[in-house]
Amino acid sequence: MLHWDIVWKEHEHELEKFNSKQRVGLALVCLEDVLNEYGSYFERALDGNQQYLVESSLKGLKSGASDLETYSKELNEFVDGPLPTGVWDVFMGLLHLINNCNFFNKNDALEVMSFAYQAVLNIEILSKLDKEIRENEVRIIESGNQACVRTLNKQLDFLNQLK
């Protein structure tokens, strides 16, 4: 089980107390954190249209924009195409957020958070290793992964601010 999953199992009951908007806010914090953590990686990995789509989607989610359906359709097209590992996870997290933002429940929040964590982990692995890796190597990277720890701490700070 991922460290991320263990932490969120402990805080799952708190997510039930949040309203839908607070859950969306928490999930947004997760995705934005990944994009901030790996800004230059994402810029290199995405073409201009994809980058614009990600930024527009995030702004749209924050403002409750009505064109989220358009974002969803366009994101789907990119997800079906070739996306680098890590970037794919962020796109899937965004898609999940957009498609469920009106009825965002506890499980939706956990799903997006796990996509964000997986993106961080995948990008860390990609940046450190040029060879095929074994499962135990992933565990070693994960256990000492400072980027993941920072991401988790930001989410926990967000939770504490909502209390």
Q: Give, as one character, the DSSP assignment of residue 85.
A: T
Looking at residue 92, its pLDDT comes to 92
Residue 34: name the closest of 144, 127, 118 by CA.
118
Q: Give, as one character, the DSSP assignment of residue 133.
A: -
Looking at residue 145, its pLDDT comes to 62
- Here the CATH number for the domain that contains residue 12 is 1.20.1590
Distance between CA atoms of residues 149 and 113, nearest Å? 13
Residue 78 and residue 53 in contact, taking contact as beta carbons nearer than 8 Å? yes
**pLDDT tens for the 163 residues of the chain, in order:** 344 555 556 666 777 788 888 888 888 888 888 888 888 888 888 888 888 888 888 888 888 766 788 888 888 888 888 888 788 989 999 999 988 888 888 888 888 888 888 887 777 766 655 455 556 665 665 665 666 666 666 666 666 676 5
Residue 102 and residue 20 in contact, taking contact as beta carbons nearer than 8 Å? yes
Looking at residue 139, its pLDDT comes to 63
Looking at residue 2, its pLDDT comes to 44
Angle at the Cα of 139 from the Cα atoms of 133 and 144, rounded to 5 degrees: 115
Task: Give residue 80's domain range.
Answer: 3-162
CB-count burial class (<10 Å; 0-12, 13-18, 19+) for 86: buried
Q: Read off the amino acid at residue 161.
A: Q
pTM: 0.73
Locate 102 and state its tokens. Answer: 């009106």
Distance between CA atoms of residues 126 and 124, nearest Å? 6
Counted domains in the chain: 1
